[in-house]
Amino acid sequence: MGLGCWVFLGGVVGRVGFGGVGVFRGGESVVCGQSPVPESLVKRAEEVGAELLVV
């Protein structure tokens, strides 16, 4: 998620995570650089079958 999305969504981790989940696609990889990973990202990745990579 880029800085523009962060600013647009208010810079609140849970809200940004929730806003970003709409771009997940099944069979694709999603990269998250935050630990712990927001639960909304984990849940959505599982729902659509995306591979969630944590760096």
pTM, entire model: 0.62
Q: Measured between alpha carbons, how far is 30 from 53 in angstroms, rounded to an integer? A: 6
pLDDT of residue 10: 60
Q: How far is CA 2 from the centre of its chain?
A: 11
Q: Tell me whether residue 18 is exposed, middle or buried, using C-beta atoms within 10 angstroms of its C-beta: 0 to 12, 13 to 18, 19 or more.
A: middle
Q: pLDDT, tens digit, for every residue of 1-55?
A: 555 665 666 656 555 555 555 677 889 898 888 888 888 888 888 988 989 999 8
